Structure 1
Amino acid sequence: MNPFPLILAAFRRSRLSAIVFIAVIALTVTMGIAISAQERALRKGSGTAADGFDLIVAAPGSHTDTLFSVVYLDPVAGGLLQPGTLAGLMAEDRADFAAPVGFGDSFRGDQVVGTTANLVGHLSGDLAEGRMFADRFEAVVGALSPLQTGAVIEIAHGDAGEMGDADHAGDHGHDHHDHHEGHAHDEHDDHADEHLHDPVTVVGRMQATGTPWDHAIVVPIEYTWYSHNLPLGHAPGDQDRIGPPFSPDHLPGVPAVVVKPQNFAAAYELRTRYRDEGSTAFFPAEVLVELYAVLGDAARIMSALTLAAQLLVVVAILAGLLAVLDLQRQRFAVLRALGAPGGFIFLTVWLYVWLLVMVGTVLGLPLGMLAAQVVSGLITAQTGVSMAPEIRLAELRLIGGLIGLSLLLAVVPAALIYRRPVVEALR
């Protein structure tokens, strides 16, 4: 005997209840899939974002704070690496380059980062358009910055970048060269107290890096020092040039330095060398492993809670289905009275319950993937960290486990219907 006509009839008879049950199961599965896929995408995206930062040297303090400041451009207040340490790093023959990184300015909410062309080239490779900055008042923007090459912007101190003037057109960005040409450091003391800094011209755009630097505005480190009334890193007669070599006697402190070691051995040597009373050095992966351990614990707790919620939902739905099927008990009793085997009734009820759970579970898979993609898009837009959630074995295992569990739990209403006496059910 074919049970599917009876299953279809039962669905039609209680269509609304069946649809609600399927929707609830699909929603529960969606949440589990989204949490699992998003947690893995966050790990992968944050790890990829740190790949370009081989070794970070900073003042003694929290490695996590420094990592978030340098890699994820979420600066926090902290100590400064002393000029002598910076000078030592710049002279290291075991490093391909050592790029100081400075913060403190923004434009319309986007971070303005001061550094050297070495780091920009390391992160981006060849520029997507334009050229590298060649003087103190030029900038290169990240791949996702709305600013266009040629735009002139007035950078603001701190996080008030959205208060900066709109970018100007034409040659206005070059007017400041005549005004500041040859000025010594002590000639702009009053400038540091102004809310807006000198205009900067955008001259290039980086390739996409999949990091928060894609939204950044990158200026020469000398601009950051200049705008904060600090020494410019060069001797008084050489202050119009940018980039290394710097003059050790004219360097200020910096929040951090990104170092590109020559090789694996040099990386560990530099890491050991600059872990002393005046500085700390670390690989970003070290900090991420610790963060992932915490994140992993939280993810396991969330997964356990999600699994428990799914189990409770399935149990509740089975109870609801049992109530629905109880309303159709006379139909099954009539079939039994007409000679239908008890095993056939059991199989029909079992398949009906299991199919509802399975349909909801299967629907939850693409919905969960869609939810993870939406969340990843929101996080990427907010942080700049590129994320690409994927369905992997963990999600398939979750789906398989729920379907397998429903195979067992569906036995309960099937057995109750099967065991009910025909005479009692006909009343």
Structure 2
Amino acid sequence: MLDWEKIYATRAKRMGASEIRELLKLLDQPDIISFAGGIPDPALFPNEAFQAAYNDILSGPEAGQALQYSVSEGYPRLREWIVKRMRARGIDADLGNIFITSGSQQALDYLGKLMLSPGDTALVSWPTYLGALQAFNAYEPRYDRLDLSRNVEPQAYAAAAERAGSRVKFAYLSADFANPTGESLTPMEREKLLDIADALDIAVIEDAAYRALRYEGERQKTLLAMDCERSGGIENTRTLYCGSFSKTLSPGLRVGWVCAATPIIKRLVLAKQAADLHSPTINQMAIARVAEADFEDQAEKINTVYRERRDAMLKALSDYMPAGVDWTRPEGGMFVWLTLPESMDAAALLPVSLKTAKVAFVPGNAFYADGSGRNHLRLSFSCSAPEVIDEGIRRLGAVLTEELAAVA
């Protein structure tokens, strides 16, 4: 029998199973209250709008085009809609600045492939999106902690990379309602990030997957919009904006996009031609039709529901969590981030919670490039009704209270 381990490339050793993907299997168990999967509620999908869109496409003159090979850049009508949306947010984009991907996850993979050689440094928040680490890991990078709350001089990042025989290539983060913490960057932190990128002459990858999910507070400028203002236009920017329809219209259709200067868009097109040629044309057509007709109404509908669920979770945490546990209070997104006492390990707590309370969550260490953060955990409120959230947090609070008493 072939020893496959001898055949794999060295990058394969950096690939690991997603803890979240495994936890999503718990959604099929009716007795489990799951706060694990950060996924949209399927009851809120615009099913009828998509049914009408697919019927229109397949019964009309574009049926042949919908089922045929297409251009790698993406369906022009959908890209035009995205252009208008970007321009409304202060980004002077045109069709050549928009590239369609199979979800924003594919964009992260392509950007890692294009920019990371083995040993190169990626600056990421601590914690950061697990899917980004998985996408970048295949290209064997070194990670450094991007902490905009501390007064770290840009050259400190360059010096640390140089000592490791490395070079900083980009900074990656979500400026709005980050996964896993739910936190957003302040205007000052956004400026600081761009200052760091300018000083180091690196790219900025802005993951905007949750940006449309705002429940309160003032909408902030995107990093790309700020970069356009600072640099004089999109062609002079270093920021790559990764957008997605997964959290608003449908995750299953796998449609995302990148908005950036044309040189990087051209490179991304080459990467896609080598990978899967193009994203499914019929799905792009359907997304375009539904977005044109219903996007703002759909965003308002899901925000109303998710706001209620976020509020229910924050209230339940206040009611049931023992002293010594803290949590974030996000203005949007899908997540609340808990900080437990230093003595506690959320990964060890998970099987206890599943067995005694039937409550699932994601241990925090999954979101740290170095595997630290073991006294943190992520809760998602997107798929549970308020009364279920209240019951689940009550049970989790009881587990934490008992565990804290045991180590006291």
Question: Does the alignment reach a TM-score above 0.5?
Answer: no
Greater Cα radius of gyration, structure 1 or 2: 1
Q: For the superposition of Structure 1 and Structure 2, which TM-score range results when normalised by the shorter chain? A: under 0.3
Which one scores higher on RCO, CA 8 angstroms, separation ≥ 6?
A: 1
